[in-house]
């Protein structure tokens, strides 16, 4: 049996099947186009389809809005292949391969990430949880393992720390006040969402799970998932549904960006600003509540359309509220950025130049603040973005201040989009009728989440269930480059730089709470790996 990939072409996705020996050649060819870079990779258990484990690398050619999937079968008996890290040099590549190794037991020769990434260090070696034949029903037995000696005294930042809003662990090694090395360990909240969806959920129930990937930008995940299903099954979404998705996506972007700027102010210690911006942001939350009945978890998506409608008077109220929130929030945030205590902390800290940003795979506002002009909404329009006019703000400074300011600019653009979209919603039904679920079809969708390009890759399976669902949230790439930013910086800047990336750990980890013995840490210096 072979996977059906017809749905991809329409979406400007190229599907290349190759072999392990040919892979290097194919990838070199793709990367010779300077606009293309590796977005992520994933593994899937194809033993029930064609008898092999598979690894798929996904490349994004940003300006053309084109994606390339390179699919490589791996012999399950040996389960090993060459890493693409030497070729791509992006930290995200070490991550996604390490994830595939943890979850599917595929070894990547040449991947510098030696320790565990997603699974706890105490997880048994021969159990690969995402394989279809993984034992279930009982927790795996933990082997005895010696505590690793710390090589150097470090300053722990996390897993629970006032500067982090979620559990993640950074160990900053300092000489005097300067950070010289960063040890990172994440995925403390790996919840197994992908496995959960594959095992327990029917495909049309997954949007509700997808929405719970992130506590801030959940709707973008459910939309991207739905778009991936629509691409795979060839479902045409009615125009009105597209417009309503756009409205909700933009409301989400506004509140996410205001939250981020407020959180940056909070991190530098200016809590007055935090309170005032959060107060302004409430209006957007109210607007979302009016449409969907909830501030954050909208439950509005379903493959093939949306479940809520917006009438005219509602449209007016939403616009009013959004306008109020944006004008006030942006005005306040801009003014507070002029305060000496804020300005000196943000300007010139954590500079990420264009070359590094591109090489390390920066996405979204982080990339745009470093002069990389990418935005999925414009490059590969989805929802109603092809029918609206907006600008993509780009800044060249690349420091924390630029990352702060660019979010304000984007919030203003979002308001512009909202105005156009809400002016006339097309009068079509809300959902596509008559869906035909076909097994073993591939779908890929990309969207511009508030934090950057968000990818969902699905393979449909039997019985209306998914065979594989891979989520690549933007923070996955942005976080992987973070240790590079912290090195050679004063320790006091670390929290600010961290916040200016606007990391969203849960959606990166996104996957049953695993108890990790804090002393048993596998330390791998990402900084050492990726420093040029």
- At closest approach, how far in Å is the CB of 295 from another protein? 9
Nearer to another protein, 80 or 279 (CB): 279
Structure tokens at 371: 């002069």
Nearer to another protein, 133 or 338 (CB): 338
- At closest approach, how far in Å is the CB of 390 from another protein? 28
Nearer to another protein, 291 or 511 (CB): 291
Q: How many CB atoms lie within 10 A of CB 202?
A: 12
- At closest approach, how far in Å is the CB of 340 from another protein? 5
Query: How many whole angstroms separate alpha carbon 48 and alpha carbon 53?
Result: 9
In order, the DSSP letters of 26-71 are HHHHHHTSTTEEEEEEEEEEETTTTSEEEEEEEEEETTTTEEEEEE
Q: How many CB atoms lie within 10 A of CB 356?
A: 17
For 128, 146, 422, the CA distances from 311, given in Å and listed in that order, are: 49, 63, 10
DSSP state of 235: P
Nearer to another protein, 340 or 389 (CB): 340
- At closest approach, how far in Å is the CB of 317 from another protein? 11
- At closest approach, how far in Å is the CB of 202 from another protein? 8
Cα angle 278, 190, 223 (rounded to 5 degrees) comes to 60
Query: How many whole angstroms separate alpha carbon 206 and alpha carbon 49?
Result: 22
Nearer to another protein, 292 or 447 (CB): 292
Structure tokens at 284: 């957007």
- At closest approach, how far in Å is the CB of 495 from another protein? 22
Under the rule (CB under 8 A), what is the footprint of another protein?
Answer: 200-201, 205-206, 208-209, 212, 272-273, 275-276, 279, 282, 289-294, 297, 299, 307-308, 332, 335-336, 338-341
Query: How many whole angstroms separate alpha carbon 345 and alpha carbon 400?
Result: 9
Nearer to another protein, 206 or 366 (CB): 206
Nearer to another protein, 348 or 488 (CB): 348
- At closest approach, how far in Å is the CB of 299 from another protein? 5
In order, the DSSP letters of 179-207 are EEEEEEE--TT---HHHHHHHH--TTTHH
């Amino acid at each position: 049996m072979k996977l059906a990939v017809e749905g991809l072409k329409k979406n400007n996705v190229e599907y290349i099947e190759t072999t392990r020996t040919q892979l290097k050649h194919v990838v070199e060819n793709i990367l010779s186009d300077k606009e293309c870079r590796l977005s992520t990779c994933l593994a899937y258990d194809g033993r029930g389809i064609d008898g092999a484990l598979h690894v798929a690398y996904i490349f994004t050619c940003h300006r053309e809005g084109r994606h390339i999937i390179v699919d490589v079968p791996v012999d399950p008996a040996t389960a090993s292949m060459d890493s693409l890290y030497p070729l791509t040099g992006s930290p995200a590549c070490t991550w996604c391969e390490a994830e595939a190794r943890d979850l599917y037991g595929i070894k990547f020769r040449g991947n510098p990430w030696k320790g565990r990434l997603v699974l706890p260090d105490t997880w048994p070696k021969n159990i690969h949880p995402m394989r279809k034949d993984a034992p279930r029903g009982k927790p795996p037995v933990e082997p005895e393992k010696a505590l690793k000696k710390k090589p150097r005294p470090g300053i722990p930042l996390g897993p629970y720390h006032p500067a982090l809003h979620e559990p993640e662990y950074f160990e900053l090694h300092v000489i005097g006040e300067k950070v010289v090395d960063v040890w990172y360990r994440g995925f403390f909240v790996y919840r197994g969402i992908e496995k959960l969806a594959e095992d327990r959920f029917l495909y049309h129930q997954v949007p509700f799970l997808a929405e719970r990937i992130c506590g801030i930008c959940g709707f973008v995940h459910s939309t991207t998932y739905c778009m991936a299903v629509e691409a795979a099954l060839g479902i045409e979404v009615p125009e009105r549904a597209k417009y309503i998705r756009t409205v909700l996506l933009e409301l989400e972007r506004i509140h996410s960006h205001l939250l981020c700027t407020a959180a940056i102010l909070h991190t530098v210690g200016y809590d007055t600003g935090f309170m005032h911006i959060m107060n302004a942001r409430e209006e957007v939350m109210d607007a979302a509540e009016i449409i969907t009945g909830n501030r954050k978890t909208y439950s509005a998506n379903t493959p093939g359309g949306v479940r809520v409608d917006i009438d005219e008077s509602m449209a007016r109220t939403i616009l009013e509220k959004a306008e109020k929130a944006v004008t006030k929030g942006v005005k306040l945030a801009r003014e507070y950025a002029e305060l000496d205590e804020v300005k000196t902390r943000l300007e010139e800290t954590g500079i990420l130049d264009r070359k590094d940003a591109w090489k390390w795979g920066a996405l979204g506002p982080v990339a745009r603040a470093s002069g990389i002009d990418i935005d999925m909404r414009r490059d590969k329009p989805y929802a109603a973005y092809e029918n609206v006019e907006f600008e993509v703000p780009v800044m060249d400074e690349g420091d924390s201040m630029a990352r702060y300011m660019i979010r304000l600019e984007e919030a203003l653009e979002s308001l512009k989009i909202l105005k156009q979209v809400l002016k006339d919603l097309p009068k079509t039904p809300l959902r596509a009728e008559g869906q035909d679920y076909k097994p073993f079809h591939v779908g890929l969708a990309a969207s511009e989440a508030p934090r950057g390009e968000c990818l969902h890759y699905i393979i449909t399976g039997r019985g209306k269930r998914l065979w594989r669902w891979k989520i690549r949230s933007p923070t996955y790439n942005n976080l992987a480059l973070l240790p590079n930013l912290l090195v050679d910086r004063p320790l006091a800047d670390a929290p600010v730089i961290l916040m200016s990336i606007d990391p969203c750990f849960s959606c990166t980890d996104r996957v049953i709470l695993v108890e990790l013995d804090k002393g048993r840490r596998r330390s791998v210096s990402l900084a050492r790996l990726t420093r040029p």
